[in-house]
Amino acid sequence: MQNNLFQDQKFRGILYQTLVVGFFALGLYFVINTTAYNLEKRNIATGFGFLNNPAGFDISFSPFLDFKSTDTHLKVYFVGVLNTLLVSFCGCIAATILGFIVGIIRLSSNWLLSRIAYIYVEFTRNTPLLLQIILWYAILIQLPRIKQAPQIWETFYISNRGLFGPKPIFLDGSNIVILSLVLSFIISFFIARWAKKRQDTTGQQFPTFTTNLSIIVFFPFVVFFIMGSPITLQYPVLKGFNFKGGAVIRPEFIAMFLALSIYTAAFISETVRSGILSVTKGQREASGALGLKKNWIMRLIIIPQALRVIVPPLTSQYLNLTKNSSLGIAVGYADLVHGFGGISLNQTGQAIECMAITMATYLLISLTISFFMNIYNKSIQFKEK
């Protein structure tokens, strides 16, 4: 009975899908159209021309770019992106390390340790991140005032305006020292590769770690003295209202960093735990029977197999952390949402443009993280030989 077109499954499928896409496009068109119409009617200017206008306000937290109030909104955007990337990057690394440690501790046979890890995970996982950020900031703000800042060796100072320490100053010839450091890393890499290959073929072991560590430490040191110490330290000095010179880590950054990494580490630790538990008991017993040391079993047998389970959810934790960094607004951390999506938006009134750019940026960052994590994930999958 093919005479009725609607009884043709293929035709019906195409029809329904066309209708859905059509309705979606119509809805999108309607939304964009009404927005444009309303903006027009309210005399709200649109367009991206404002990006080249001077911002008119100052951003103090800009470790990578020098920002003045005469700079443009476009520069506000770049400062915000860099600050977002900074806290996300530091947060992801710290969360991963802490998460792995806690995840392994939770499986420890030591009752007290595993209980402490359990309490930590349940406490941080089940309270809102925003509150944790504000809590950390509230604690940091109670540190000593700048005039009473306690010092360590007249080099480090702790105050509620941040942690102050020495800043390296690079003089002429410092390029060569840095080059030597990079070079020693490259040499170490090749030594490690050579050592692994030799062990694979002959079974002979090589003290890779100690050799490489001494290369990385001693080689640049020798170059440093040959070049006549071209890198000096600038110490912070209390002058007037604030410390002058030196380097500083602001409490806003510390609060964000601590809250983001501790919060996310709780989730990562659960991922790590489930990954380790997914490796069958037989693997552990078999490697024990072969006489492998306990930490070798973990490092060589369990973790490589667990990683296949750990990495996909780990990727989404990285994405979460990056997106959660937008909560920096709560403590005045000058990230993308606070600076560009907040102050610029408000000073120019270009809400839709600013939000669109900000969202597109987060999308780009997230997709980039996913891209690299997917490559990594492929590299650790079972390779059937």
Partner 1 sequence: MKKLLSIFAVLAFAFSANAGTLDDVKNRGFLKCGVTTGLIGFAAPDDAGNWAGFDVDVCRAVAAAIFGDSSKVEFTTTTGKSRFPTLASGEIDMLARNTTWTLSRDVNLGFEFVGVNYYDGQGFMIPSALGVDDATGLDGATVCIQTGTTTELNLADFFRANGIGYEALPIETNDEARENLFAGRCDVYTTDASGLSATRAQADDPDKWVVLPNIISKEPLGPLVRHGDHQWGDVVRWSLNTMIIAEELGVSSSNVDDSKGSNIPEVLRLLGVEGGYGEMLELSNDFAYNIIKQVGNYSESFDRNIGPDTPLGIGRNLNALWTDGGILYAPPFR
Q: Among residues 145, 281, 383, 385, which is the contact residue for partner 1, using CB under 8 A?
A: 145
Number of residues that bind partner 1 (CB under 8 A): 44
Q: Which residue has the tokens 């890393």?
A: 185
- Sheet containing 247-249: order of strands: 151-152, 156-159, 162-165, 247-249
Determine the interface stretch with partner 1 among 18-26, 35-43, 116-124, 272-280 (rule: CB under 8 A): 35-43
The reply on whether position 4 binds partner 1 by CB under 8 A is no
Q: Smallest distance from the beta carbon of 360 to partner 1, in angstroms?
A: 14
Q: Among residues 259, 276, 334, 369, which is the contact residue for partner 1, using CB under 8 A?
A: 334
Q: Which is nearer to partner 1, 161 or 273 (CB)?
A: 161
Determine the interface stretch with partner 1 among 85-93, 109-117, 140-148, 310-318 (rule: CB under 8 A): 140-148
Tokens of 367: 């997709």
Hey, which residues between 249 and 308 contact partner 1 (CB under 8 A)? 251
Q: Which residue has the tokens 């009134």?
A: 349
The reply on whether position 239 binds partner 1 by CB under 8 A is yes
The reply on whether position 80 binds partner 1 by CB under 8 A is no
Q: Which is nearer to partner 1, 45 or 65 (CB)?
A: 45
The reply on whether position 345 binds partner 1 by CB under 8 A is yes
The reply on whether position 343 binds partner 1 by CB under 8 A is yes
Q: Smallest distance from the beta carbon of 338 to partner 1, in angstroms?
A: 7
Q: Among residues 146, 192, 215, 303, which is the contact residue for partner 1, using CB under 8 A?
A: 146
Q: Among residues 52, 142, 201, 205, which is the contact residue for partner 1, using CB under 8 A?
A: 142
The reply on whether position 34 binds partner 1 by CB under 8 A is yes
Hey, which residues between 153 and 182 contact partner 1 (CB under 8 A)? 160-161
308 closest CA partner among 232, 382, 256: 382
Q: Among residues 211, 316, 347, 370, which is the contact residue for partner 1, using CB under 8 A?
A: 347
Give burial (CB, 10 Å; 0-12/13-18/19+) of 211: middle
The reply on whether position 27 binds partner 1 by CB under 8 A is no
Q: At what angle do helices 303-324 and 73-106 cross, to 10 degrees?
A: 140
The reply on whether position 99 binds partner 1 by CB under 8 A is no
Q: Which is nearer to partner 1, 17 or 33 (CB)?
A: 33
Q: Among residues 207, 304, 312, 349, which is the contact residue for partner 1, using CB under 8 A?
A: 349
For residue 34, the cross-strand partners are none
Q: Smallest distance from the beta carbon of 339 to partner 1, in angstroms?
A: 8
Q: Smallest distance from the beta carbon of 352 to partner 1, in angstroms?
A: 6
> What's the 3-state SS for the chain?
CCCCHHHCHHHHHHHHHHHHHHHHHHHHHHHHHHHHHHHHHCCCCCCCHHHHCECCCCCCCCCCCCCCCCCEHHHHHHHHHHHHHHHHHHHHHHHHHHHHHHHHHHCCCCHHHHHHHHHHHHHHHCCCHHHHHHHHHHHHHCCCCHHHCCEECCCEEEECCEEEECEEEECCCHHHHHHHHHHHHHHHHHHHHHHHHHHHHHCCCCCHHHHHHHHHHHHHHHHHHHCCCCEEEECCEEECCEEECCEEECHHHHHHHHHHHHHHHHHHHHHHHHHHHHCCHHHHHHHHHCCCCHHHHHHHHHHHHHHHHHHHHHHHHHHHHHHHHHHHHHHCCCCHHHHHHHHHHHHHCCHHHHHHHHHHHHHHHHHHHHHHHHHHHHHHCCCCC
Q: Among residues 7, 35, 151, 381, which is the contact residue for partner 1, using CB under 8 A?
A: 35
Asked if 327 contacts 133 with a C-beta cutoff of 8 angstroms, the reply is: yes
Q: Among residues 47, 228, 240, 291, which is the contact residue for partner 1, using CB under 8 A?
A: 240
The reply on whether position 41 binds partner 1 by CB under 8 A is yes
Print the binding letters for residues 43-72 with partner 1: x by CB under 8 A, - otherwise: xxx----------xxxxx--------xx--
Q: Which is nearer to partner 1, 53 or 199 (CB)?
A: 53
Residues that bind partner 1 (CB under 8 A): 31, 34-35, 37-39, 41-45, 56-60, 69-70, 141-142, 145-146, 160-161, 239-242, 244, 251, 329, 332, 334, 338, 341-343, 345-347, 349, 351-352, 355
